């Protein structure tokens, strides 16, 4: 509640119709619009020349400009301010009070299909490794397959051949002593040969 009161006191100190940030933007646009040449094009439309090859059409009744900045921001662009300066009117009257309409005020399209997210894809990755299971315990695939088969095939699936040892099991098994094979010398020097 105190924040609302503080903001209201700040708003009461403002001078003019516009808040300070928008007033600063309008002042910058006014300085930039002084170099443009505007002329009446007929009806409510005006032509603004920005150089030898750039021209914009401004409509003050519909609050629109060819550059679309006035339509997007609801603050008159440089081209519109050049026309307002030509007509000798106040630019504050052309700033719209509500900037944009909310989603609730948007026109609904009944014939448009809803936008769906892209289909989910399996990311490119290394293939999953097959887990080694203990002897006598069926895997997940075997368990689902066994539910459909009769009891004789279920018992046969439980009596699998033992799988290879994991590295933990291999480390725990008893280490046998290393036996060296006898080496035979291919060449041996003679001890008693003094001839």
The pLDDT tens digits of the residues spanning 76-133 come to 999 999 999 999 999 888 988 765 566 777 777 778 788 899 888 877 777 777 666 6
The answer for residues whose C-beta is within 8 angstroms of residue 48's C-beta and 6 or more apart is 36, 37, 38, 55, 56, 57, 58, 79, 82, 83
State yes or no: pLDDT of 140 exceeds 80. Answer: no
State yes or no: pLDDT of 165 exceeds 70. Answer: no
Range with the largest mean pLDDT of 18-22, 176-180, 188-192: 18-22
Phi, then psi, of 190 in degrees rounded to 5 = -80, 135
Q: Cα 28–31–33 angle (5° rounding)?
A: 105
The pLDDT tens digits of the residues spanning 31-56 come to 999 899 999 988 889 999 988 888 99
Q: What is the pTM of this model?
A: 0.49
- Cβ atoms of 139 and 133 closer than 8 Å: yes
Phi, then psi, of 45 in degrees rounded to 5 = -105, 145
- Distance (Å, whole) CA 39 – CA 46: 6
């Amino acid at each position: 509640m105190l924040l609302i009161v503080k903001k209201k006191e700040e708003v009461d100190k403002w001078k003019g119709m516009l808040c300070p940030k928008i007033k600063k933007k309008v002042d910058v646009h006014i300085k930039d619009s002084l170099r443009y040449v505007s002329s009446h094009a007929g009806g409510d439309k005006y032509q603004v020349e920005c150089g030898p090859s750039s021209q914009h059409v401004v409509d003050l009744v519909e609050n629109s400009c060819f550059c679309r900045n006035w339509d997007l921001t609801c603050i008159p662009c440089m081209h519109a301010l050049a026309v307002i300066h030509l007509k000798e009117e106040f630019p504050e009257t052309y700033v719209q009070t509500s900037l944009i309409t909310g989603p609730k005020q948007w026109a609904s399209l009944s014939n448009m299909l809803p936008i769906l997210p892209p289909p989910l894809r399996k990311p490119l990755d290394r293939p999953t490794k097959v887990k080694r299971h203990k002897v006598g315990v069926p895997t997940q695939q075997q368990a689902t397959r066994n539910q459909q088969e009769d009891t004789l095939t279920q018992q046969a699936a439980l009596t699998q051949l033992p799988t290879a040892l994991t590295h933990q099991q291999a480390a725990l098994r008893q280490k046998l002593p290393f036996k060296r094979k006898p080496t035979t010398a291919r060449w041996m020097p003679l001890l008693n040969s003094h001839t």
